Structure 1
Amino acid sequence: MDYTDFTGPRWVEIDTDAIAHNVRRVKNALQAGTRLMAVVKADAYGCGAPEVARAALAAGADMLGVTTLEEGLELRAGGVTAPVLMFAPLLSQEAGQAVRHRLTPSVSHPGVLPALAAAARERGEVVDIHLKVETGMGRTGLAPEDIVPVALSLRGYPELRLEGVYTHFATAVYADSFVRTQFDRLQAALEDLKEAGIAVPVRHACNSAATFGFPEMQLDMVRVGTLLYGQYPGGGNKGWGLDLKDPWRVKARILHLREAPAGTSVGYGRDHILKKSTRVAVIPLGYADGLTVSPLVRPKNTVDLFKILVKTVAAFWGYGRAEVTVAGRVTPVIGRVGMQLSMVDVSHVPGVKLGDEVEAGLRRLNTNPRLPRVYLRSGQPYLVRTIQGEMSLAEEGVDH
């Protein structure tokens, strides 16, 4: 039995050794005393939150961060017991679940405090909370002038304990001066709390971009996501000396091969007409899986706009087409990308045959979450996650 008996002809490989390496590299580069929150929101950026969380914690992460209650509950269901901070505001009806599963809420509005306190009181527990300060992201958080009144109101809720205060930077990836403006606003709020006699054990502001772009802002803890997955915020190596490793590989197997004569049309709309005899392979990946799908980005300036226009014109003339790798050779996707099946020109790949492995460069957050995730350690698969759940390959008696 092989692990592809569980995955079928398409899967994503996640190298948890690479995740652990990145965690250690980031943590070792932090200032003394600064803790590391591993951000595993959005299913750990597509890599699979439960197993990535386990790997990150084993490598030295101090805490986990998610956006929603559902993401926190998934970690608890996967046996993850470490502290988990939820970034998004909770609705009052979600307070009971958060408290029951020992998830740490972010408070962006005092209206949720009575529900949190009541849920904690019912269980006879004290719940840690973090207050979020809105300093310029324009999204969630308490106004700086409201921080002290809300913090003082916690004295009426002995079931709630202030563990942290934080903010979120809007422009850290651009390293512009507004980051300093936001940080100064946070520092002012923290000073107001100090003057009011309110202790704040954990102060945090930095995301991946700010952690090393503005190291003086690391405070007590940093919230790092992108870097842990082997990528740098905004793309490109920032010269931070982290030596990150990429844990991500999307793979599939060739399902069909044919020799198509010149003049054959390929794909919907007959957009692609073969100019010569071509060996065409069909792979089980399409736009529903994330092949060629890119996020919509509003140009920030005229340079960004020019780049987008150039890419659009190039695509019209057939440049910048989707590509995959077969037997170490880059091969173009031809014709329109289908929903779940696409065609590839493999004429230049000697000895190609049915079932051969193909590697595709899909964006992580655009990759279909239904694609099985295969986790590797020391280069060997040990766990598979499908829509049916996780399966230990050792327990299933699977050959590598």
Structure 2
Amino acid sequence: MTVLRCLGSTRPWRSLWYLGVGAVGALPMLALVKWVLKTNTPIGYLTGVVLIVMVNVLLSAPLAAMERRRLKVIDRRSGSRAPLGKNRLWRELGYAVAFTAVIAVLDFLVVIVALSVLIVPLSPLLEFVLDLGSIVNLDDGPVPSPIVVLVGIALMPVAAYLISMVARTQAAFARRLLTEPDTGLADRVAELTRSRTRLVDAFEAERKRIERDLHDGAQQRLVALTMTLGIAELDLAGLGGEGPRLVSKARAEAECVLAELRELIRGIHPQVLTDRGVEAAVAEIADRCPIPVEVHLDLPRASSAVEAVAYFAVSEALTNVVKHSHAERVDVTGVFAPGTAVVTVRDDGVGGANPANGTGLQGLADRVAVVGGRLTLSSPPGGPTELRVELPWACA
């Protein structure tokens, strides 16, 4: 959180309240220490040490419970965390010792300083209303009221930010020592991850089934129909009437349908991707692209789901380049490091690509996220545009 955002929020006031509650605990401990010092006897020192140890032991559990509730004032994330499980007694005792020895005293000092800073700009008004003498004095005498007000106002933002930082640090220490992540939430996250993986696997299995049915069923029948019409066209050659012309037209229509079906199958999952991997599949779509595309991919084979995401990322990027970028050149690169592959598509077009303007890039980002990857886009006005996809890449 930046300084300006901190000062413009309720955090400084919540932090002051958080530290103020802790400062109350310093008063009994400071009184006990003062009593021990005033006795100035070995028995008094021993008695003071025993009392302090007993206080820490007796108050460790209730103090930890109070601190967990107090954390919600400054750290709202504590609502998603649970009390300690193992080693609970020792960790609560350790926090009690830290609180009584350091934290409470630090809270007391910070609250005193904060209240002093708040009183400084109000001192001229307090002096007038309560008929007091000068509240702010130096060795040379009272400080003029305008200077007091200006100095106080200048110190307030600094004090507010420092109070917030102290409270935030103290809350982080208490959260680390007294709480642990909510296991129920962790279990739900793990189950969501597993369910997402199952959905991806089910989608991949259904995709393969549709591709197989189209390839081995409808496509083969269209090929047979085209061949039959071709033979019929040859047999009817030279005959009069509309028969030869209609057969020729039917054969041409069948060839067009076959071409469209092959393009549909290629869009679902190209066979070359299954047989030869991402490099060959990307090289094929680069050859069909009307814009010159340089392909430099060095990726080993991986799972079919991840390879499909990499392929469709490049395919979607090239489609967007052709439609919107007015580019003259595209570079597709892919590098592999153990466990990760990075695929980059860069063009020299006009730039200005924005995922919010359409569903293509957003859908691609969602598809990348499903397999645990990350998509980043850099497209300043005037170009160049760079699409970068990082994917978990376990070699097959």
TM (norm. structure 2) is 0.21
TM (norm. structure 1) is 0.21
Q: Find the structure with the greater CA-based Rg.
A: 2
More helix by share: 2
Higher relative contact order, chain-length normalized (CA < 8 Å, sep 6+): 1
More strand by share: 1
